[in-house]
Structure 1
Amino acid sequence: MEFIKGFTFKLNPSKTQKLGGEETKESLKTLVETSGCETIILAFGALQDTPHSEEIDFAGPHIPTDEELLEVIAYARKLGLKIILKPMLNCRNGVWRAHINFFDLEVPCEPKWSKWFANYEKYILKYAQIAANTKCEMFMVGCELVQTERKEEYWRELVAKVRDIYHGPITYNTDKYQEGEVKWWDCVDVISSSGYYPQTQWKENLDRIEKVVKKYNKPFFFAECGCMCVKGCQEVPNDWSFEGEVDLNIQADYYKTMFETVNERSWVQGYGIWDWCSNYKEDLPEDRGYSVFNKPSAKVIKDFYVTK
């Protein structure tokens, strides 16, 4: 697998911006110029009401239309970008997707894994077809659905059905610290995870992940990684609610350490840095969040990518 010099390009529907229109194209072009990335992970999210809801909504205003998605993909190709398609899932009530969960034993009148997976399958297979039609370089069957991962049989069935449609490399993006908990890595082509690890603990976590990668003998990359611009968050980079004083150099220093440390491990074959929004101008330079727009970290990332 070629090294993935990637960035997550998050398609955020907006009342004032047409996804696939000129503003989105400007955002994508600016991302490439800013970061030096060669691959974009196109991320968008379906919704379910709560972590215990069976129904999944992937046709509302919260998600790109097929026409918008195809227009973004076509423009990305004009820019010479490789594309990883990443359909995600979120809860309307704000609970993180990792907590989507049901009883293992199906109970009458209670939400069921079987119904949830049937609906999730419809969602994923739709975008597997789009990935196939547009020849995306990779397809993600899921992201950070931690409580679902123990339902191994369902995931194996889903991956097999995706393969009937999409014939490129398939991955699943597990969450930080969960790499060793997924028991079905053998049925995907690439192992990936969200690498939000404390700045001072990269080495021990890489040691742990390396054992998983060697066990399954699969390529690996960090499908997500990043840090906000708040003092102290470099030790809890996954906590988007972390409060503190804004400091843009915190993010830059985090990326420097990450690249220097991870670069020593040849089995790590890339990154999908989190994140860059389609409506990127809403991410102001003083923003405390993960955006790198007009921040020192952008140069750190570009310097690494252009010399890698």
Structure 2
Amino acid sequence: MSRFDIRSFNFITWNWKEDFVLDDVKKEIDYQVDVCGVNTITFSFAAIQEHCYSTEIDWNGEHMPKRDELILLIEYCKERMLKTIVKPMLNVRDGYWRAYIRFFDEDVPCEPKWKDWFKNYNEYLLSYARVCEENKVDMIIIGCELVGTDHREEEWRCLIKRVREVYKGLVTYNCDKYQEHNVKWWDALDYITSSGYYPLGTMGKELDRIEEVVNKYKLPFMFTEAGCPSVKSASRNPNDWTVSIYGIIDEEEQYKFYKELFEETSKRSFVKGFCLWDWPMKSPKFKENKLIRDYSIKFKRAEDMVIKYFKV
């Protein structure tokens, strides 16, 4: 039996309307369970803001889940005796990474303000927290890699308090790689979680550092993202998604990353699981159509490594 409590992928879509076909999505869930041995489905999707200094957040467009369709999937997971996680993320329309979202720390007239951004972000997260409570979702991830916001401790603690008022399940925040020790409000959460895109050969050292944070807060830990494109040299900087566009195809590179990830985390009892990156909601049905340079492991060599550590 796998020693990891949570075995999952980020089941992602950036455009719900285009990607959602109920029977097809159910089959992808079945594949993750029956072939890869997951015990948890993590529904990952993203609201959008125009640029890194915008305070408006679009979480009602067609790119977002339809409430009734998301509920159907949650119910299907329950039928299959699976845990569920909901991960409402945030992307920036102009292509910049969400980690760069940031404003002046003191209000300046005519400039965007933290209070306006957090007001809109609260509305977004609380909407999904209510859905999670009504449908008994096991965990909500209230943010992902929002590095430029991490220092706003008071606002994050306020959001967590408000989420807990409407949702009684587990609550965590997906900090970015190398940032585990910089988040000062882990004590308000139920898990310490982060993105584990650590270069090949460094995972052991980084886990030693993370363990110090875990011991300080006395909370369980998991990687709510971790992965590597199947591209030559990608494991040097596994967070660099751009190589999946033009890089040289190399499934061995992705396999080596996963081998080290699992070998090193298996030595540390404080690591309780994974939501690996990623599993597109609209995934190829046949091996000949596999996503040859992407983070997806479906039909690739790295899939065997995941099966080895996930499958009961």
Q: TM-score, normalised by structure 2?
A: 0.94
Partner in structure 1 of residue 70 of structure 2: 69
**Superposed displacement of residue 244, structure 1:** 3.1
1:13 pairs, out of 10, 15, 26, with 15
Residues 28 and 12 of structure 1, relative CA distance in 2, 3 Å threshold: farther
1:101-129, CA deviations, whole angstroms, 9 ceiling, x for partnerless residues? 10001111111000000000000000000
**Superposed displacement of residue 14, structure 1:** 5.7
Structure 2 stretches lacking a partner, 5+ long: none
Identity among equivalent pairs (%): 43
Say whether the 8 Å CA contact 2:284–2:291 is kept in structure 1: no
After alignment, is 88-97 or 29-38 more displaced?
29-38
**Superposed displacement of residue 16, structure 1:** 5.1
Write the letter of the residue equivalent to 1:30. Y
1:262 pairs, out of 265, 287, 294, with 265
Matches within 5 A, 1:102-121: 102-121=103-122
Say whether the 8 Å CA contact 1:172–1:191 is kept in structure 2: yes
Q: Distance in 2 between matches of 1:198 and 1:116?
A: 33
Q: Distance in 1 between matches of 2:276 and 2:117?
A: 29
| SS of the residue 2:311 aligns to | helix
Matches within 5 A, 1:227-246: 227-242=228-243, 244-246=247-249
**Superposed displacement of residue 164, structure 1:** 0.4
Matches within 5 A, 1:15-164: 17=19, 19=20, 21-164=22-165
Q: Distance in 1 between matches of 2:35 and 2:126?
A: 33
Say whether the 8 Å CA contact 1:20–1:71 is kept in structure 2: no
| SS of the residue 1:290 aligns to | coil
Say whether the 8 Å CA contact 1:8–1:41 is kept in structure 2: yes
Structure 1 stretches lacking a partner, 5+ long: none
Say whether the 8 Å CA contact 2:4–2:310 is kept in structure 1: no
1:188-210, CA deviations, whole angstroms, 9 ceiling, x for partnerless residues? 11110000111100111011111
Q: TM-score, normalised by structure 1?
A: 0.95
Say whether the 8 Å CA contact 1:82–1:137 is kept in structure 2: yes
Residues 286 and 172 of structure 1, relative CA distance in 2, 3 Å threshold: closer
Partner in structure 1 of residue 300 of structure 2: 295
Q: Distance in 2 between matches of 1:10 and 1:286?
A: 14
1:136-156, CA deviations, whole angstroms, 9 ceiling, x for partnerless residues? 111111111000010000000
Q: Distance in 1 between matches of 2:177 and 2:291?
A: 27
Residues 111 and 204 of structure 1, relative CA distance in 2, 3 Å threshold: same
Q: Distance in 2 between matches of 1:72 and 1:175?
A: 28
Residues 75 and 209 of structure 1, relative CA distance in 2, 3 Å threshold: same
Q: Flag as ranges the 4+ runs of structure 1 deviating above 4 A.
A: 14-17
2:252 pairs, out of 249, 254, 265, with 249
- RMSD (CA atoms): 1.7
| SS of the residue 1:199 aligns to | coil
Say whether the 8 Å CA contact 1:138–1:169 is kept in structure 2: yes
